[in-house]
Amino acid sequence: MKLFILSGITLLLLNWPLGAQTISEWRMDHRTGVTSESGLLTSWPESGPELLWTNLELPKGFSSLSFGGNSMFLTGIDGKTDILVALDLHGNIKWKTAFGRSWTQSYPDSRGTPTVENDRVYVASGSGDLACVNASSGQIIWAYKASEIHKGTFGSWGIAESLILDGDQLYFTPGGPETTTIALDKNSGRLIWASESLNDNPGYVSPILVSHEGRKLLINVIASYVYAIDPSTGSIVWRFKHLDVNDKADAGAKSIKCVTPLYHDGKIYVTGGYDHGGIMLDLVDGGNNVKIAWIDEVLDVHHGGVVLLNGYLYGANWLNNGMGNWCCLEWETGKKMYEERWNCKGSIISAEGMLYIYDEKRGNVGLVRANPEKFDLVSTFRITEGSGPYWSHPSIHNGVLYLRHGNALMAYQIRK
């Protein structure tokens, strides 16, 4: 084992086994919130599905889970430090690694979900410190204080980005006057490129990679813009100022964006709560530009994400910070299919044509048929362990539903 320090990078060199490439990341398959898991229950008992185990000893955080080998990974906070935690599949802690400075102001609990590829885990802290960690041992392979090095700026809640991998490259969004997005070599932490600056704060958004007409684009949302980058060069291909689209948006919160964009068939959906509504953008000119396809004021998602199933968008809107309804829109037109009150707004994922929804206020969990004609609730139960807002997005892995609440993590058997 050798340790080097080079241009702000702390690098630990280890020997790595070769194997097939597998990635587990934020919002499951390709960041869509939809998983290909199958053979799952289509209804639950009145008390909920079978509880396999509970862990009440985690450092507090809002991240969801990612998986690799026989482990699962999440982040938490310990004082002013963000912690990466590895657990076995029975919920026992295998190791904890301090990897970066936390966000210490409003809502400081960690929020970035680890990205796992083979035997490496990639994380970003609330203050923009990046790290690559050995998934087996918890040793830091390299570390890079990205926001500090690139003079990055912050919104009121620091960094909430879950890192994305693309071949040998890793992308991060420091924002600020020097650059908007950077690419690092995932193996060494070496800087590959830094894009031009849009002179804007980062959002609380995790980017997506899309392929459009044979062209790869990295798409992200920051305080004022939706933008696309050519990941081979770092050049900004187009930018769209979402800030000016909806005059009804809350003036004090117009620059807050928390929802990962969603791409399908040449269209990009962006939403942000606070009466921003939603914007559907069409990629035009071979992906070199965008134009507005439609604007919606119903599905105004705060930070719980959206899913697309069979031509329809599902999610919860923002009525105020403590309330929201569950909605369905037609993808092509933005037509409202329904808007239904059920407890409170929250996060949403999907598997096998079913929606899994997690109320952020009281911890109610719902199983809903993805039916555009109505809010078709099948089963429900409530999480009672943990503390703080129920902001962690659910995860499904190998027939198990994972639900986090602050320091608590619960695993439920949902396979038939």
Predicted confidence at residue 4, as pLDDT, reads 35
**Contact status, residue 274 vs residue 259, Cβ threshold 8 Å:** no
* Res. 5 pLDDT band, cuts 50 70 90: very low
The DSSP secondary-structure symbol of 14 reads -
Structure tokens at 329: 């829109």
Mean pLDDT on 171-175: 98
Mean pLDDT on 183-206: 97
pLDDT at 1 over 60: no
Mean pLDDT on 12-34: 70
Mean pLDDT of the chain: 93
pLDDT at 189 over 70: yes
Structure tokens at 187: 């193996």
Which phi and psi angles does 146 have, rounded to 5°? Answer: -65, -50
Residue whose entry in the numeric block shows the structure tokens 């919130």:
33
Q: What angle do CA 44, 26, 182 make, to 5 degrees?
A: 170
Mean pLDDT on 51-56: 98
pLDDT at 378 over 50: yes
The percent of residues in the chain predicted with pLDDT above 70, rounded, is 93
Please state, in angstroms and rounded to a whole number, the distance separating the CA atoms of residues 243 and 184: 29
The percent of residues in the chain predicted with pLDDT above 90, rounded, is 89
**Pairing state between β 235-240 and 164-166:** unpaired
Predicted confidence at residue 2, as pLDDT, reads 36
Q: CB neighbours (10 Å) of residue 1?
A: 7
Structure tokens at 328: 């369905």
Please state, in angstroms and rounded to a whole number, the distance separating the CA atoms of residues 137 and 141: 10
Please state, in angstroms and rounded to a whole number, the distance separating the CA atoms of residues 266 and 386: 41
Predicted confidence at residue 245, as pLDDT, reads 83
Structure tokens at 334: 């933005």
**Contact status, residue 131 vs residue 184, Cβ threshold 8 Å:** no
Mean pLDDT on 119-128: 98
Element (H, E) at 405: strand 400-405
Tell me which residue of 374, 282, 312 sits closest to 34, measured CA to CA: 312
pLDDT in tens, 132-170: 999 999 999 999 999 999 999 999 999 999 999 999 999
Q: Higher model confidence: residue 6 or residue 287? A: 287
Structure tokens at 363: 């911890």
Predicted confidence at residue 246, as pLDDT, reads 74
Q: By three-state DSSP, how is residue 286 classified?
A: helix
pLDDT in tens, 256-276: 899 999 999 999 999 999 988
Produce one character per residue of 228-259: b if its CB has 16 or more CB atoms within 10 Å, e if not.
Answer: bbbbeebebbbbbebbebbeebeeebbbbbbb
Predicted confidence at residue 251, as pLDDT, reads 64
Start-to-end CA distance of the chain, whole Å, equals 46
Q: Strand ranges (DSSP E) for 202-321?
A: 208-212, 215-221, 226-230, 235-240, 262-264, 267-271, 278-284, 289-296, 306-309, 312-316
pLDDT in tens, 99-122: 999 999 999 999 999 999 999 999
Please state, in angstroms and rounded to a whole number, the distance separating the CA atoms of residues 64 and 82: 14
Mean pLDDT on 307-321: 97
Q: Higher model confidence: residue 239 or residue 276? A: 239
Q: By three-state DSSP, how is residue 149 classified?
A: helix
Q: Is 126 left (phi over 0), alpha (psi -120 to 50) or beta?
A: alpha
Burial-class residue 349 by CB neighbours within 10 Å (0-12, 13-18, 19+): buried
Cβ neighbours for 251, distance < 8 A, ≥ 6 positions apart? none
Mean pLDDT on 218-230: 97
- What domains can you pick out in the chain, each with its CATH number? 1-31+64-204 (2.40.128.630)
Cβ neighbours for 298, distance < 8 A, ≥ 6 positions apart? 277, 278, 317, 327, 329, 336, 339
pLDDT at 125 over 60: yes
Please state, in angstroms and rounded to a whole number, the distance separating the CA atoms of residues 129 and 146: 6
Residue whose entry in the numeric block shows the structure tokens 């004022």:
224
Predicted confidence at residue 255, as pLDDT, reads 79
Predicted confidence at residue 7, as pLDDT, reads 36
Q: By three-state DSSP, how is residue 30 classified?
A: helix
DSSP 336-390: EEEEE--S--EEEEEETTEEEEEETTT-EEEEEE--TTS-EEEEEEE--SS-S--
* Res. 22 pLDDT band, cuts 50 70 90: confident
pTM of the model: 0.94
Burial-class residue 413 by CB neighbours within 10 Å (0-12, 13-18, 19+): middle
